[in-house]
Structure 1
Amino acid sequence: TALRQFAQTRGDAELSRVVGVVGFNGQDQPRQWLLLQLDAKTPNLLHEYAMLDGRIAAHRQFWRDPKQDLPTIPINVPKITFDSAQAFRLADQAAKRVGMGFDSIHYNLRCRDLRNEPVWMLNLIDGAQNSVGVLYISAVTGETLRSVWHRPGTMTTSTSAPTPPPGAPTPDQVEFQKRPKGLIPQLVEKVRSRNDAGQAPPPPSTFSAPRQR
């Protein structure tokens, strides 16, 4: 929705340079979305737009910091068939399957390396602002590519197998292992490494810090 609203305001040419979308504390949807856009002429110059209630509420520009994990691949918006509302429903179903409760979600939409596939990274947050799970869901197929669950106050973590989209072949028919190991699996391994060391999963990679509630 935020991408469509941005296109209505700025046009399709501006939309084609958007490389990332984030929203924080969604219950189930964030009130404000942040869009990250490449500059049309100047390399490493980025634009950030705040979308609030269907309009552009703020805009800033800044230089890319090589130390930051910021997206670089423009999002192919026409390929997106699972929006944030559908991603929430899939995350809610996944949390119920493992018996994990959550209060809100941090959303992060960006493209995977190598495949240029838009992927939702969903960070599930409990009432104490602890991360209890991180899910990676294809915005194209609805497939859950990876999920990591963490129980706050313990060192217990679990990683779920990929979940195919509704109507897709069963897991044993999905040749997930043949996928190239792009950005998303690498990020999950980082989350698992932190959990093994007794640390809670980090918040999603973002281009602005979430607002305090």
Structure 2
Amino acid sequence: MKNRFVFPSSFFSALGLSLVALFFLMPKANAQRELALSSDDALNWISKEYGDQSVEWLVEMRGFGGIPQPIEWEILAYDQRAPRKLRWFVAGGGRVKDDGIDTAHYPERPPGGYLSRESVRINSEKAFKIVENEARKAKVGFDRVDYFLRVREFSREPIWRLELKDADRMLAGKIYLSAKTGEVLRTIWVFRGGLGSRDARAEIVDSAEPRANEMIERPVGPTPDFSQNERSEPAIPDRIPIPDDRPVEAVKPDRMERPVTGIEPRREVEEKPEPEVRDPRQPADLRKGAESLVPKGAKPENDTRIPPPPIPPSN
């Protein structure tokens, strides 16, 4: 009798669970693909409902769980009439909604900048194709994509950031690309040990990390040992030894000469007394003028009249 291979019962149990999961997930994935919309579709819906000026200038646009496109987009747009200048819109599920004024940015956290809708030439569909090609070259698999559209800080250039997630919703990679030209600016890949592995030793590959040819070359040499705290004596020039029995001679002071500086020494100036300022009117003349005013025959010592003031001499 020939031996026949018999599948274990656990195999059929696992296979049955996989088929059941696939049966329930397939309609959900197909429904999401039918409801998915691109970034252009979301902006067009909002423009049709609230006017073109409502999404003319954007701060941020984001969508989550795209397979490959998300079913809903959240847009933060500039609104000049709003007290805090920013307003949220939501587009998805066949409807659009004004989600109110933003309170998370102004005045404490102003946005990094504003991007014009006209400057976005790479929509989410084109961005996904670029990212899919980059992931294929890096041999990284993913299950869904999160989209973020923002402006490059201190500029007007729109930048896409796409985050790739695996089946366990864990990050598999990040790609930054210009929404104006499609240029890939930066890629970050996460290589784990296995599917769903949360090992902290996952390998990170960042295109922006310094390369070997960019490292600073340091001189190679022996490393000084500072473990022994020895006192180093200063270098003393060779001197003629002096016998111990030689008497100590008195040190004669050297003659000090005036240093040559090119500046004349300060000379002491003798203080001379200031000349006395005399009144131009001579006392003798004043007295003579006063005597002429006394009437004849009168004694000045017995006269009780107040004499007039002296007349100043004419020049």
Give the structure 1 partner of residue 57 of structure 2: 17
Gap runs ≥5 in structure 1: 162-213
Find the aligned partners of 1:44 and 1:27 in 2 and give their Cα distance. Answer: 34
1 CA distance for matches of 2:126 and 2:92?
20
Q: Give the structure 2 partner of residue 91 of structure 1.
A: 131
Distance in 2 between the 1:98 and 1:70 partners? 36
**Given the two structures, how large is their TM-score scaled by the length of structure 2?**
0.47
Inter-CA distance 45–71: structure 2 relative to 1 (3 Å threshold): same
SS in 2 for 1:63: coil
Matched with 2:205 is 158
Note closer, same or farther for the CA distance 1:15–1:67 as it changes in structure 2 (3 Å cut). closer
Q: Pick closer, same or farther for the CA change 1:77–1:65 going to 2, 3 Å.
A: closer
Mean CA deviation greater in 61-70 or 36-45 = 61-70
Cα distance change, pair 118–53 in 1 and its aligned pair in 2 (3 A): same
Distance 1:52 1:86, change over 3 A: same
Q: Which amino acid aligns with 2:120?
A: I
SS at match of 1:14: helix
Please name the residue that 2:81 is paired with. Answer: 41
Could you say which structure has the greater relative contact order, defined with CA pairs below 8 angstroms and 6 or more residues apart? 1
CA drift of 1:80 comes to 1.6
State the shift of 1:17 in Å: 3.4
Larger Rg: 2
- The superposition leaves residues 162-208 of structure 1 with CA deviations (integer Å, 9 ceiling, x where unpaired) of xxxxxxxxxxxxxxxxxxxxxxxxxxxxxxxxxxxxxxxxxxxxxxx
- Residue 140 of structure 1: SS of its match in structure 2? coil
Taking only the aligned residue pairs, the percentage that are identical comes to 29
Q: Aligned equivalents of 1:96 and 1:76: distance in 2?
A: 31
Structure richer in strand, relative to its length: 1
Change in 2 beyond 3 A, CA 1:69/1:147? farther
Q: CA RMSD in A?
A: 2.3
Are residues 117 and 97 of structure 1, via their aligned partners in 2, closer, same or farther at CA, if it must alter by over 3 Å? same
Q: Alpha-carbon deviation of 1:107?
A: 0.2
Q: Give the conservation status (yes or no) of the 8 Å contact 1:74–1:111.
A: yes
